[in-house]
Structure 1
């Protein structure tokens, strides 16, 4: 049974902890306030999409931070959350209730099985943010799962994935190399320290298909305004990053284990 804790800070924000790992941070009275840097990067990308409701599937739920953000910024958005940990979902609903009139539906299914059960072209955005013991499960980075994501996305849809890696990004480079041909437009968004290989950290992967290429100019402008010093790798930069890199097979591999506290920085 998972050890679930809720840590409240002086501003009233709540950090959801699972087995000692911070899963998400929620500001109940202001869902637009995002604390984790990678969640800010998710929001940065989503805010660039055309106005109006979005059909979003979240792989991984925890505190439902991004789902709450979308409910606040794009009311009426139908959202599916695939979260196999029923105990976690029940605890979150009890401790941090969802807003009224939301359209967030949590399904007790793991990411691979849950995405397989979705209809073709039924999502405008898929958000992959699923960790077990601090690592992305192997089955969520292989060719089989990524092909299912491409099937579920509507034309011009967007896959967003929160991936963690060590300096050099060996793992992320292999994930990018594994993306199916139907999602050829790829970019990477992260803090400058992570992109420059100075520390272990989170990278947000964006993948989309023609005829709706990524708005690279808009992303660069938004990254320049981010709270954290943020950079973007796109187009030729991504192509150079994965040149000669072998893709994963049907099943990928788990992301690298996070270092002990105090060991996140290289220099």
Structure 2
């Protein structure tokens, strides 16, 4: 299930490649789904905007008439990295671990037309509903598959994706089984040469979990970066960090990416190289034996799992 969103922030909107559609009729109040409830909250001053709340936690923000609009800061940061893959607007193969409202999938369908995307969502009912509610690309451009993120990733072919986005949360916490070195190694396996792994990591001071996740990526990828608001990196507040890993030297430490990150609407820093190593400090990589237990592919027990390996046919 896609998860905890950062504070919305305005960004410049690139021209859309699709004609905008009229905002659909959306339900009011709580709607039951497989793992709890979903609620769609509209903004009076911004009728095209909707925020998806899963079990009371903000999970996705969408502009129903403009898929290129990204309000959550961590999504803007991910987009800045993805923009530097290949020659835009060349299509990409993208795997989304955690789907919710499919905000990033809608965005990439417009800015990278012809991309083939797979979104894996634990909640089968939610996956079906977002097909109904939102203007999502149709298969084969976007396939929705219900299942556990780690188990589904394990079944994907090697060197089959340009981008893997991990946006998996149980409430406000990322399940441990998608944070470990073993899971990260499998993500690296599925990536094509030169591809990038992007993880939405939410943490609070003193950022011990974020530092351990950085150490985990450093153990598996040749090039690693962390992107976040400066005050958060100094351990002043709870929030989202974007962690990125690639086997392509120079991608994440480029001056071009650093400039793009600095130009985002909210103050943002990119840590790379010695700065990133200093941030991680003495943190050790997360491994299954320490944080997951004997069955690393199982979701947390409080979650209700849908039938595995089912795909949306809509």
**2:52 aligned with 1:19, yes or no?**
no
TM-score for the superposition, normalised by structure 2: 0.77
- Shift in Å at residue 96 of structure 1? 1.5
The answer (yes or no) to whether the contact 1:54–1:74 under 8 Å persists in 2 is: yes
**2:77 aligned with 1:41, yes or no?**
yes
- Shift in Å at residue 99 of structure 1? 4.3
- Deviation string, structure 1 residues 187-227 (Cα, Å, up to 9, x no partner): 11112221222211000001111456424311210012101
The answer (yes or no) to whether the contact 1:138–1:251 under 8 Å persists in 2 is: no
Runs of 4+ aligned structure 1 residues displaced above 3 Å come to 99-102, 210-213, 251-254
Q: Where does structure 2 lack aligned partners over 5 or more consecutive residues?
A: 1-33, 293-314
Distance 1:162 1:182 in 2: 17
TM-score for the superposition, normalised by structure 1: 0.90
Correspondence list, 1:34-73, <5 A = 34-50=70-86, 51=88, 52-73=90-111
- Structure 1 range deviating more: 155-164 or 205-214: 205-214
Distance 1:252 1:218 in 2: 38
Q: 1:180 to 1:224 in 2, by over 3 A?
A: closer
Distance 2:247 2:93 in 1: 17
Which residue pairs with 2:151 in the alignment?
A: 113
Q: 1:178 to 1:251 in 2, by over 3 A?
A: farther
Select the residue among 153, 175, 178 that pairs with 1:140: 178
Distance 1:91 1:63 in 2: 9
Select the residue among 26, 32, 43 that pairs with 2:68: 32
The answer (yes or no) to whether the contact 2:225–2:253 under 8 Å persists in 1 is: no
Select the residue among 188, 194, 210 that pairs with 1:172: 210
Output the aligned Cα RMSD: 1.8
- Deviation string, structure 1 residues 105-129 (Cα, Å, up to 9, x no partner): 1111211001000000001110000
- Deviation string, structure 1 residues 218-259 (Cα, Å, up to 9, x no partner): 1210012101111111100111222322221126759xxxxx
Which residue pairs with 1:149 in the alignment?
A: 187
- Shift in Å at residue 166 of structure 1? 1.0
Q: 1:242 to 1:100 in 2, by over 3 A?
A: closer
Which residue pairs with 2:264 in the alignment?
A: 226
Q: 1:62 to 1:191 in 2, by over 3 A?
A: same
The answer (yes or no) to whether the contact 1:139–1:251 under 8 Å persists in 2 is: no
The answer (yes or no) to whether the contact 2:118–2:142 under 8 Å persists in 1 is: yes
Which residue pairs with 2:252 in the alignment?
A: 214
Q: Where does structure 1 lack aligned partners over 5 or more consecutive residues?
A: 255-267
Distance 2:189 2:132 in 1: 34
The answer (yes or no) to whether the contact 1:6–1:17 under 8 Å persists in 2 is: yes
